[in-house]
Structures are given as structure tokens and as C-alpha cells.
């Protein structure tokens, strides 16, 4: 399966790194400087909201809580920042881990993925999910179809193809077999193609 860009939909693009001194900002935040803490939030809030919103769509009601959780995790671990990479990259790394935790928790809370694969008869000219993501003219429709999918399928597809997580890694983190994950992904791809062919989107 071809690898996908993490910004395949054009959502949640990360802003350019700040020109400020990251190490000085971190030191000021750790010293409980309120202005520095406000600067920390202002510098990264837009990027985090864009990133999290794109990964949780259409569950926008959960975005604020997850962004707050990311900021709290960043502040809790700020002493571990070594300054060897841009602070933004460090914060976004925390965000990616939190998003992955969200996928895992949501999928585990849902119905077992060990069921049988349903067959879907679709037109031969319907693109596969990863193909739709790679073609600019199809991105808008792909977003709509993806948003219309059951949450289990939507999260599995985003985790696998957008976040580029191998099926084996997904299986390990969910406590499932790789075969079970592959069946879930197969069902999700089939449903995506079915809805695409019938024009069903959110």
C-alpha cells in the first residue's frame, strides 16, 4: 500500500516554527512566568487545533478537551525538552501520541473487530481510499465520505493511512491480531468505496 502524506486532506497543516528562542521560552515557562506561558499557548494553539480537528472530524465536540490534554502533557514534561529540535516539533510529537491514544481507546470501546468481512459490490471505477487521498480533485469528496463512515471505520482508516501506522503496530497497541486489524481495514475500505460510488457523504 502506498504511503500517504500526513496532510493528505490539506487539513491541520502545521505553521512555520517560531523565530523565538525555544530554550528561553521553556525556561521562562518553567519559572512560572505568566507571559511566557501565554506565549507558549499562543504559539502552538492554532496548529494544535487544526491538527486535532482534522484527526477527530466530525467529532469536533472532543477537540477542546484533547487539545487541553496535549497542553497539559507538554507542560508536565517540559523539563524533558532538550532543545535539540524545534519546540513545535516536540509539542506536535506529544499531539501525535495523544491522537494515537484516542484512536486506540475509541476503537477498543467499540464493537469487537473480529467479525466477518462483508462483501460490497461496487463499480470498478471507484477509487480505493488511499488513491482518493492522493488526488487533489478528489480530496473534498474523500473528506465528506470519510466523515460519513461509522466511527470505527473512520478512525481505522485515518490511523492506518493518514498517520501511516502499520497494521502490525495497530494490532499490538490494541491487543488484537494483525489479521483482525486487516479485516477491519478491509471492511472500512469496502464501506468507503461503497459510499463513494453512491455519493454518500456527510
Residues comprising the chain, all counted: 202
Segments making up each domain of the chain, as ranges: 22-109, 129-197
Give the pLDDT band of residue 135 (cuts 50, 70, 90): low
Percent above pLDDT 90 for the chain: 23
Is the peptide bond preceding residue 17 cis, with omega within 30 degrees of 0?
A: no
The answer to whether the 22-109 and 129-197 domains have the same CATH topology is no
CB 43, CB 29: distance < 8 Å: no
Give the pLDDT band of residue 134 (cuts 50, 70, 90): low
Q: What is the mean pLDDT of residues 46-53?
A: 91
Specify whether domain 129-197 bears CATH 1.20.140.160.
Answer: yes
Give the pLDDT band of residue 199 (cuts 50, 70, 90): low
Long-range contacts of 43-47 (CB under 8 A, 24+ apart): 43/18, 43/87, 43/88, 44/71, 44/74, 44/88, 44/91, 46/15, 47/12, 47/14, 47/15, 47/88, 47/92
Among 172, 11, 16, which Cα is nearest to 89's? 16
Residue with cell 490539506: 10
Residue 124: per-residue pLDDT: 42
Percent above pLDDT 70 for the chain: 72
- Write down the pTM of the prediction: 0.57
Return d(Cα 156, Cα 71) in angstroms, integer. 25
Right CATH for 22-109 from 1.10.1740.10, 3.40.30.10, 3.40.228.10, 3.30.365.10: 1.10.1740.10
Amino acid at each position: 500500500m502506498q504511503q500517504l502524506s500526513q496532510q493528505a486532506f490539506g487539513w491541520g497543516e502545521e505553521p512555520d516554527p517560531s523565530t523565538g528562542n525555544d530554550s528561553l521560552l521553556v525556561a521562562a515557562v518553567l519559572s512560572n512566568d505568566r507571559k511566557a506561558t501565554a506565549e507558549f499557548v499562543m504559539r502552538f494553539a492554532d496548529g494544535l487545533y487544526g491538527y486535532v480537528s482534522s484527526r477527530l472530524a466530525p467529532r469536533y465536540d472532543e477537540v477542546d478537551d484533547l487539545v487541553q490534554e496535549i497542553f497539559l502533557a507538554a507542560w508536565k514534561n517540559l523539563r524533558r525538552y532538550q532543545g535539540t529540535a524545534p519546540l513545535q516539533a516536540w509539542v506536535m510529537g506529544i499531539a501525535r501520541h495523544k491522537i494515537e491514544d484516542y484512536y486506540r481507546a475509541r476503537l477498543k470501546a467499540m464493537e469487537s473487530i473480529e467479525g466477518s468481512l462483508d462483501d460490497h459490490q461496487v463499480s470498478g471505477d471507484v477509487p480505493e481510499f488511499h488513491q482518493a487521498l492522493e488526488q487533489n480533485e478528489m480530496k473534498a469528496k474523500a473528506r465528506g465520505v470519510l466523515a460519513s463512515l461509522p466511527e470505527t471505520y473512520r478512525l481505522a482508516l485515518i490511523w492506518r493511512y493518514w498517520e501511516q501506522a502499520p497494521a502490525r503496530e495497530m494490532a499490538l497497541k490494541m491487543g488484537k491480531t494483525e489479521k483482525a486489524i486487516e479485516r477491519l481495514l478491509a471492511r472500512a475500505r469496502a464501506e468507503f468505496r461503497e459510499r463513494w460510488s453512491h455519493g454518500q457523504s456527510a
